[in-house]
Structure 1
């Protein structure tokens, strides 16, 4: 072997060295490619997280409750769709309803035999039982509508005579017709009270002549709210008078109808208990029409009852006002990116509503996901649960994108962004 051949042999690289060099090169190339992939990975969108927000407290109701009444009740309902609220003071127990029972009976009958629009309802032919009911009402010194065997009238006739003139025999005939007999009516009354959650309401007769036909001030307030929501009942209790054959024009027994914005109601008097009065009134407050219902139970003189109700109603109206439910700039959501960038979503306007005292409606906020690097922009809205009141929501500052060092330090997480389905 020549010296030159020997030198060429000694310079030949070992195969393992070659393999190692190849592996190092591949690792370097892979590292470069991985680094590029990490640096170029698409940044995921950042979802909003709701922020629990407590609105400023609103003033509690200030009601001038009638001191004269042994049991008094108050309620308010917004005909424009506001949530129902009610409150009561005095006795929480059940007491005789007297002729306010007739209002409950009419609601029960209409639940089973509804009337729509201006229709007069079913045609009813009276018989001897209806004549007997007339004499029973006379014996109880209750108002009556003269009837005879074979008289034909309508369902609405009996409703009007019962609620406007408070004719005791008219409501008995209505209940008897609607359910076949009084036992059937009483069973229906129990079912109706149970379905509506009226725990203190129980009827022993349709007219309220029995002291066992009872309810509480709070239950009657809720019943009154149902009454003003029924077009047939509301239009009937608003009548100033009704024509009754054999009597002529009978005025509404509600003595304060037309006063202090009172546009409907029902009276009730029972010797063993006293006087009850339900009324409903409508007034425009700050450009918004509001309807309220009031219940006073257990007064003695008619003048006392009327005065107590007027006092109650007049103390209610000042509680209505336009109030800010959610101020401008309220944080309703936040964006928190995995790399530490953050921004808030705030309301860009105040949410105002016309409410009764502290009966504020709830609200809900929507905020769309945003991209990294997004400048402040509109992302959704906040809306009251009642009415059509909303305000835009926008982010407060730029949501910074992750820098290169953070991407490299969190490479496994960043590489997972390639499979992010939110992109």
Structure 2
């Protein structure tokens, strides 16, 4: 009959534990995966320069929007209109927009009847209705360019008279020629505005004399950008006609403060709309040049328009610069390993942005990789900030090596080691 021997039982238990440690725990901790480092976001570096917002009038409705040059290597040289404005001010409700409606007419007609830049286009006969329209506008003191029945104007000449001379009779002639009637044009124009995402603009006529032809500063600034980047319209503005049909002249009504770097697209006045101005402006010279489009609607008089435009351009010259957005070596995240190794995630490649720093750089968004060890200089994620609507991104790298711990730490810290094994 065997007896229970406590010493023997203890020895078996200790031996079993030793085998377990040597056979299972040892390999699990010595050869198993390490726990991931802990990431802690640190305060972003202070901006290199304060934001300089555009100075826009509080009255009426106004906005400015950037014109974005093509990316390096792009097959086109055309600029595109930014989807969001640099800034907007005044009413968010559409206001009467006067002859800015003719910019809509030019783009809608060119959409229906495409024309190559510099080409004359088809001939358009002047009808008795066109001539009567001219007489009616003259009688009402509205802007016109004279026509006579039986004349033939090219599409380009009609556009020149409407854009440069702000001719109301030519706006109606183009609408009737392209769409059959002014009413049909109005329907087509509002559909085009909706398709282009310009829901803040509505037209009731081709001329803008109707108070119901109205728009918001934000969408009218984008409209100005679309017109400025249209090759036919930009060519007409760059090379004003010295004479049209019958050698009759046309005054350029769009030009205003060119010495400030401003190119006018439409400048007009109505009792309901006040002074309304669509334009583009450029600060600096190529390759360090920044171009934006703008709209100032509902200005009380031309003296106020002049003052407001000069204030806007002064703010543009102060705000447009080449600013560091993500500084090389700037720290955005700290990494702590459980074995007391530390490192910092810093910007690998500094990023600058040439443009109008109208608002402070936005909060950083981090996209980090999970890791346990890494050499100095290893990419461990990316940092992205918003700079006035543009996402600016750079890789983050370790500024110091996080080495693996020794076997002693692995053996003496079972909880994090086993947790790492289970997570894997």
Task: Show the counterpart of 1:7.
Answer: none
Q: Check the 8 A contact 2:278/2:296 in 1, yes or no.
A: yes
> TM-score, length-normalised on structure 2?
0.76
Question: Does residue 37 of structure 2 align to residue 34 of structure 1?
Answer: no
Counterpart for residue 162 of structure 1: 162
Distance 1:299 1:383 in 2: 39
Q: Provide the rounded CA distance (Å) in 2 between the counterparts of 1:284 and 1:369.
A: 45
Equivalent in 59, 69, 77 of residue 80 of structure 1: 69
Choose from 50, 54, 61 the match for 1:59: 50
Q: 1:170 to 1:48 in 2, by over 3 A?
A: farther
How many angstroms apart in 2 are the aligned matches of 1:24 and 1:89?
81
Distance in 2 (CA, whole Å) between partners of 1:115 and 1:419 is 68
Where does residue 6 of structure 1 map in the other structure? none
Write the distance in 2 (CA, Å) between the matches of 1:49 and 1:122: 67
Q: 3-state SS of the aligned residue for 1:249?
A: coil
- Whether 1:401 and 2:404 are equivalent positions in the alignment is yes
Name 2:95's counterpart in structure 1: 95
Alignment RMSD: 4.2
Query: Which structure has the bigger radius of gyration?
Result: 1
In the TM superposition, what is the alpha-carbon distance from 1:161 to its structure 2 partner?
Answer: 1.9
After TM superposition, the structure 1 = structure 2 runs for residues 170-319 of structure 1, keeping only pairs within 5 Å, are: 170-196=170-196, 198=198, 200-256=200-256, 258-271=258-271, 273-284=273-284, 288-299=288-299, 302=302, 305-306=305-306, 308-319=308-319
Contact 2:217 2:296 in 1 (8 A): yes
Instruction: Output the CA distance in 2 between the equivalents of 1:244 and 1:324.
Output: 50
What are the ranges of 5 or more consecutive residues in structure 1 without an aligned counterpart?
1-9
1:194-244 per-position Cα deviation (integer Å, ceiling 9, x unaligned): 445545532211011223222243442232233223333333333333531
Q: Conserved in 1, the CA contact under 8 Å of 2:53 and 2:359? A: no
Structure 1 match to 2:75: none
Partner of 1:143: 144
CA distance in 2 between counterparts of 1:298 and 1:26 reads 91
- Shift, 1:106, TM fit: 1.8
Which sits farther off after the overlay, 239-248 or 404-413? 404-413
Instruction: Give the paired residue count.
Output: 405
Residue aligned with 1:110, SS: helix
- How far, CA to CA, are the matches of 2:190 and 2:249 in structure 1? 35
**1:77 deviation in Å?**
1.2
